[in-house]
Chains A and B, each alone.
Chain A
């Protein structure tokens, strides 16, 4: 069975600092991996996805993620965080139906 682990429930980052959100997955075949962002009371917005090819994928809003098969990881990064990035971030694995991690709440301090 596929599963996703996001070990950090909350992360606080200073505005302008770099960000890395961790994601580890378990999947029986070649994984399809995604990062979604959810603002309070809002829907899920796709930030980026990995299917195959280049292991470093670029997404919207300046985010990127790196797929590391040896570590079963797909960590999300951003070089400089903005206050508007404060939200909950979900890593997901799957094909058409997705299995989500528990989410990481990002707080941005001034």
Chain B
């Protein structure tokens, strides 16, 4: 069965550079969530989109932005990267926002900021 696809799987950037992470949800899923997991930390919710509109916002820095496109894929844009942005970034998708817990996670994109 198709799963959530994230790209790239690994990314290395310098401080102050920009990075873009992409997430392709499971077919027919219309809701996308972004989570950030720092080294040895629990995943922290960043932002979510339902039907291409932002549905919820968590601890996403102002330097980050995200959007969901007409094909439901989502991109997380990170600018002015800092060392502390080094983390595993997970995308999850679900069908409909009224589906508690039915989140399917991708394998994550590991960002390393040098």
**Roughly how many angstroms separate A36 CA and B92 CA in the complex, as a whole number?**
13
Say whether A96 contacts B43, CB under 8 Å.
no
In this assembly, does A90 line the interface, its C-beta being within 8 Å of a C-beta of chain B? yes
Add 20 more A-B contacts to A44-B90, A96-B31, A98-B101 (CB < 8 A): A32-B100, A32-B101, A34-B101, A36-B105, A41-B110, A43-B4, A43-B105, A43-B106, A45-B105, A49-B100, A90-B42, A94-B100, A94-B101, A96-B33, A97-B45, A97-B48, A97-B56, A99-B45, A100-B44, A102-B41
Give chain A nearest CB distance to B12 CB in angstroms.
Answer: 16
Q: Which residues of A contact B101 (CB under 8 A)?
A: 32, 34, 46, 49, 51, 94-95, 98
Say whether B48 contacts A96, CB under 8 Å.
yes
**Roughly how many angstroms separate A96 CA and B44 CA in the complex, as a whole number?**
13
Q: Which residues of B contact A98 (CB under 8 A)?
A: 43, 45, 101, 103
Which residue in chain A gives the minimum CB-CB distance to B106? A43
Say whether A101 contacts B42, CB under 8 Å.
yes
Q: Which of A69-110 contact B (CB under 8 A)?
A: 90, 94-103
Contacting residue for B94 out of A96, A100, A102, CB 8 A: A96
Question: Please, what's the 1-or-0 string for B100-114, where 1 marks a CB less than 8 Å from any CB in chain A?
Answer: 110111111010000
**Roughly how many angstroms separate A102 CA and B41 CA in the complex, as a whole number?**
6
Interface residues on B, range: 20 to 34
In this assembly, does B97 line the interface, its C-beta being within 8 Å of a C-beta of chain A? yes
Q: Which of A11-46 contact B (CB under 8 A)?
A: 32, 34, 36, 41-46
Which residue in chain A gives the minimum CB-CB distance to B31? A96
Question: Please, what's the 1-or-0 string for B48-90, where 1 marks a CB less than 8 Å from any CB in chain A?
Answer: 1000000110100000000000000000000000000000001
